A and B are shown apart, each in its own frame.
Chain A
Amino acid sequence: QSALTQPASVSGSPGQSITISCTGTSSDVGSYNLVSWYQQHPGKAPKLMIYEGSKRPSGVSNRFSGSKSGNTASLTISGLQAEDEADYYCCSYAGSSTFGAVFGGGTQLTVL
């Protein structure tokens, strides 16, 4: 299982929207809508932001949304706020051979 591909960094100004892509293969992202997204602030544990591609856990702001097209999933953050500055990781079910999980390399979001 190979890591999912994310851009190393993205940036945006407060109030703007940004989108982070996450590209996998037809064996993982493309076959299952089991992509999840995590926010990680420095020195902290990852926090679930999106699951099953587009669902938000209770307590997560509706400024965060997820989608998928083919082998690529995306996380969009609208109305950027300073506290959104963090690393973001995507994760997908890796297929029936391992019942495993595969993560993306992570994207550092900078709020200018």
Chain B
Amino acid sequence: QLQLQESGPGLVKPSETLSLTCTVSGGSISSSSYYWGWIRQPPGKGLEWIGSIYYSGSTYYNPSLKSRVTISVDTSKNQFSLKLSSVTAADTAVYYCARREYSSSWYLPGWFDPWGQGTLVTVSS
């Protein structure tokens, strides 16, 4: 059974860079049938897609965050990572990693399943 686990600092100072890693177990991150993504949820608010990466390294970012986001993949470690620069209090959120399945009906990235348990990152001095 595929499992995803986020890891990284729970506290980041304003203007610094948030760095998280998602470790995939129970399956290979190099499968051509999947993308891998990051989604966040500010406390008490809704979900926001941050970006996705394909095992080949192709990346896709939310236009509203694109200037600050970098997602990378390390197939040798079965991990993918998120970096978000110049953070502010507005970036405080639970950050989830998830597998994004490729729709064989539409030949496009589709739904997110499964999800990691999430990790709370607080931006504060």
Contact = CB atoms under 8 A, between A and B. Distances in A.
A24 interface: no
Interface residues of B, number: 29
Which of A32, A33, A98 has its CB near the most chain B CB atoms (within 10 A)? Answer: A98
A105 to B, nearest CB: 5
A34 interface: yes
Interface residues of A, number: 27
Contacts of B113: 48, 51, 57
Interface in A40-78: 45-48, 51-52, 57
Contact of B49 (A47, A48, A51, A103): A103
B110 A52 contact: yes
A3 B115 CA distance: 21
Interface of B: 37, 39, 46-49, 51-52, 60-63, 96, 100-101, 103, 105-106, 108-118
